[in-house]
A and B are shown apart, each in its own frame.
Chain A
Amino acid sequence: GAVVSQHPSRVICKSGTSVKIECRSLDFQATTMFWYRQFPKKSLMLMATSNEGSKATYEQGVEKDKFLINHASLTLSTLTVTSAHPEDSSFYICSAKRTEIIQETQYFGPGTRLLVL
């Protein structure tokens, strides 16, 4: 159990366009979802935390108007990269928690590779 999916798995877009990435918890309702970014050969950096029905909390240095997060239901969160630029090219990974228990693990999606030309 505790499967998280992401769609698409990879996307190529032109500079200036917007791209939406979906994160779904397939067999559980997620109280909280997280979005991470990973640069090549680097570790994961938390971008934002989203709770269903409320505004996302962004980490310092992450532009909330550039990376729009919508958590419309307990099983779906979306990340929209607006007016994408080549420097937004990266690997984006989402994760989800089943409960509010602090000690509980997060379940990670397979990631989305974004390439902006």
Chain B
Amino acid sequence: KQEVTQIPAALSVPEGENLVLNCSFTDSAIYNLQWFRQDPGKGLTSLLLIQSSQREQTSGRLNASLDKSSGRSTLYIAASQPGDSATYLCAVNTGFQKLVFGTGTRLLVSP
């Protein structure tokens, strides 16, 4: 059974810092991995999608990497801003139309 874990569970940083969020999964047989952002009481916003054949994806200040063999992904946020404060979720696509979500990292960026 696929299990997805995110570390740290919560993170508080001052504005301007670069930071790394970690995601690990137990079964490397995945189709892709996706990072989402969730604001309190809201739905999910897709940030980056990395296919299993890819090593990384970049969008603006965000960079996500994938090491499928070791079951790890990282989300790098450069020059963090208060508007980045949210919960970040990673999810792996296990096939069979299923996404397995991680436990999430709650990020607070203070001005």
Contacts and interface: CB of A to CB of B under 8 A. Distances in A.
Contact of A105 (B41, B49, B95, B103): B49
Tell me the dominant secondary structure on chain A's binding face. strand
Interface in A86-110: 91, 93, 95, 97, 102-103, 105-110
- Interface of chain B, helix or strand or loop or mixed? strand
A54 interface: no
Contacts of A97: 97
Interface in A43-72: 43-46, 49
Interface in B48-84: 49, 51
Given A108-B43, A108-B44, A103 B97 contact: no
Interface residues of A, number: 24
Given A102-B31, A105-B49, A111 B89 contact: no
B29 to A, nearest CB: 12
A35 interface: no
B28 interface: no
A111 B34 contact: no
Interface of B: 31-32, 34, 36, 41-46, 49, 51, 89, 91, 93, 95, 97-104, 106
Given A43-B103, A44-B99, A111-B42, 5 more contacts: A44-B44, A44-B91, A103-B32, A109-B43, A113-B41
13 contacts: A32-B97, A34-B99, A42-B104, A43-B89, A44-B89, A46-B98, A46-B100, A105-B34, A105-B49, A107-B46, A108-B36, A108-B43, A108-B44
